[in-house]
Amino acid sequence: MPKNQTESADSFNPFIHGTNSLILPVLVHTDMKVMSPIEMIREYGVAPLGGEIIMGGYRVIMHSEMGLVSFGRLGSSRMGDYTLERIIDKYTHFEISEKRKENEYEYIHAHTLEEFAFVNINVFLILLASRRMRGEECLLNRNELDFIWERINAVIQIYYLELMMGKYIHPDLDLLASLEQEKKLNIFNVVRRNLDYNYLANKIIENRINVEDIYRNPSAESLSIIEDLLVLPKNPVVPARKFAREFKDTSIEETRVFTSRKPRYPKRSKIKRRSLDPIVFPLSSIADYNFGVSRLLEQFARKRAGNNYFSRVEKDFENVIHILQDRMILIKSIVENYDASPRANMNLPCITDPFPMILLYEDNSNIHKLDSYNGDRKEYRAEAPLVIGKDIRMIATDTQKNARRLHEFFTEHGIDIEIVLFDQLREARESGKRPIAIDFSPRISAAFTFFGNSIYQASKKVLEYGGALLGYNR
């Protein structure tokens, strides 16, 4: 909408979602619902054939908005907003190319998934289900599935370990206070560099430690197992110098710096929640050197994160645990039922020759503005699945030819939908008036109409002449 034009209550300013015709074969299996891919997999056993997955918000292991269908607004025009042009350019031109399959293959790999401590598990799950939908081979064998199951359980145990910090497990502040400053700093470096995700996960697996059970039923005996888990290695490595990528061997006299004995904490944490939270940043996880479990333990030992910090993030960690458990069940179900699930006909013209689409949602219910870091960007999320023909009553595309392809598809499936062109949306954005849908009803051509009228007039004269011969006067 132009800057000098104010929006009235009657202005046409729908929410708009960019996609393309790859969505059509999937809608057949979802009762025409546009919905979160995760819920689509759970409810219908199908997944999107394309779209923004690898580069989208699914890279975040936990986010309150994750997976909800994203919308811009037709009237948006500011830089950074999801404007009509931005949505057309970036979100309507996906196709199933060999290059795209290569990128997907890098994600659908058990060891790649584990390397990031499963922070990318949502992308992994969607791409795995998408390959199944396309009739492509499963890239996970039974051994890899068992490997993932074992490692993801270790990750869950590490999150339970983090839940124990500040509640049952604490830094030995008395010990640390007794050390010289240089030795103390060396210990902090050892914690940061050595008590990382792989070190803890391997110890949990090798010793079959059930941290969850200890967390739920703590005792002096069981908490000593956690103290042993957090013992520093005998031959640790530390950075050769600050911010260096080179490392050197070091030695420490004290290897037990975490205890079940509760010390007196500072009244307030010195860190902000986001500075450590491994689930805030898209590419961070407990395996991340800057935001992972080792950094958290180091800050914990430095007294920069006290029990008040962990009480604030407790709900987040519990949510991550729930998500990981849920996704693993879905992955296992996909692999075990790989050959018994719906398949898309990959020879359909809407797949081999895809065309752009924009879905228009004109209601203000079941949708909310997404909170953004800058607070200004206009991006919206649907709060529930939206049904084509009921909630979404208008779809736009680029050409008359593709509009007819859309019309034929929805007519075949008994869906009443209005179809317009992108140019009509541009005009509607300027005028604020709802575009008139394309009329696909059969039309008699002008030439045929003239020919028909001529026959009618000639027939009429013959009848009149015949009637006169018979003495009939009308």
pLDDT at 376: 56
Type of residue found at 392:
I
Based on the domain organization, do 313 and 371 belong to the same domain?
no
pLDDT digits (tens, 9 = 90+) for 382-431: 999 999 999 999 999 999 999 999 999 999 999 999 999 999 999 999 99
Domain ranges, residue 367: 10-95+363-443
Is residue 16 one of the residues assigned to a domain?
A: yes
- Are both 289 and 193 inside the same structural domain? yes
pLDDT, residue 352, reads 92
Alpha carbon 250 to its chain centroid, in Å, reads 42
The pLDDT of residue 111 is 63
Distance CA 435, CA 416 (A): 17
Is 421 a member of any domain? yes
Domain finish residue from 299, 326, 353: 326
Structure token digits, residue 90: 């970036």
Decide if 20 contacts 396 (C-beta within 8 A). no
Assess whether 207 and 158 both reside in one domain: yes
Asked if residue 370 and residue 321 are part of one domain, the reply reads no
Q: Are residues 88 and 186 in the same domain?
A: no
Residue 314 contacts by C-beta under 8 Å, 6 or more apart in sequence? 163
Asked which of 277, 311, 326 is the last residue of a domain, the reply is 326
> Domain check: are 268 and 156 in the same one?
yes
Query: Are 233 and 293 members of one domain?
Result: yes
Give yes or no: residues 375 and 311 share one domain.
no
Supply the pLDDT for residue 56.
Answer: 53
The two three-digit tokens of residue 474, written as one number: 């009308």
Spans in the chain with pLDDT lower than 70: 1-9, 52-60, 62-67, 80, 96-112, 238-247, 249, 265-291, 306-307, 371-377, 443-474
Q: What's the maximum distance between 2 C-alpha atoms anywhere in the chain?
A: 132
Instruction: Indicate whether 209 and 322 sit together in one domain.
Output: yes
Tell me whether residue 131 is in a domain. no
The predicted pLDDT at position 124 comes to 85
Do 19 and 75 have their domain in common?
Answer: yes
Q: Are 360 and 14 in contact (CB under 8 A)?
A: yes
314 and 167 together in one domain: yes
pLDDT tens digits, residue range 259-281?
A: 999 877 655 555 554 444 444 33
Q: Token pair for residue 401?
A: 């030819």
Q: How many domains does the chain have?
A: 2
How far apart are alpha carbons 208 and 60 in whole angstroms?
28
The token pair at 271 is 């860190």
248: part of which helix (H) or strand (E)?
strand 247-249
Written as one letter, the residue type at 401 is K
Classify residue 468: in a domain, yes or no: no
Q: Which of 306, 326, 346 is the last residue before a domain boundary?
A: 326
Looking at the fold, whether 277 and 423 belong to one and the same domain comes out as no
Is 208 among the domain residues?
yes
User: Does 107 reside within a domain?
Assistant: no
pLDDT of residue 418: 98
Domain presence at residue 423: yes
Are 232 and 191 contacting, i.e. CB atoms less than 8 angstroms apart?
yes
| List of E strands, 411-466 | 418-421
Q: Which amino acid is at 27?
A: L
N-terminal to C-terminal alpha carbon distance within the chain = 64
Q: Is residue 171 part of a domain?
A: yes
One-letter amino acid at 59 equals R
